[in-house]
Structure 1
């Protein structure tokens, strides 16, 4: 009742060899596709040109915080960061931005901020404009 043929006895080894051949073929095919190289290569530098100019971000931040002393902490932080980013641009009027940043920092610090994001934005603005 039990079959004792050689192929029947070696069915486990045959299955393992077939699985090894199939897995090797899959690996070789995946290596030929070179998906990793395609995904790792950037076709466009995302930092080359911003989608919107930094002046637009600064104007938007000024609209959100027309009076920095009474604005919400996140709007204050947004304004300070936008000023800092605008100050790092080559075509920026650094003196005017530095004066605005100094006034904004003074207005914000008069409210005794405790928000860590706002405190970091103040530190960033101070370091960019050497305040």
Structure 2
């Protein structure tokens, strides 16, 4: 909506770079892709093994409740993470994450871009 990158912006491209073995590009685009790809792979392995066994490994409800307590911290972390993502896009080092066709993004890039930061 604004043309600005979200905290997870670049995650798909980072995951793709990671799958091709380009860790440096993956880290530059979005370092959160590394743990996300690992977590998705682990969840996939668990789900496949549960399907093969025909029963779950454990009761997931208490585990999910415990994780739910960390949700506010995860949101705070993502907001803090968003700041360098946004600055990288505005400064030009991650310009592929910025859509300057949008007036908000174009204005911020012109006023907060490389020459002003």
Same fold (TM over 0.5): no
Higher relative contact order (Cα pairs below 8 Å, separated by 6+ residues): 2
What is the TM-score normalised by the length of structure 1? 0.21
What is the TM-score normalised by the length of structure 2? 0.23
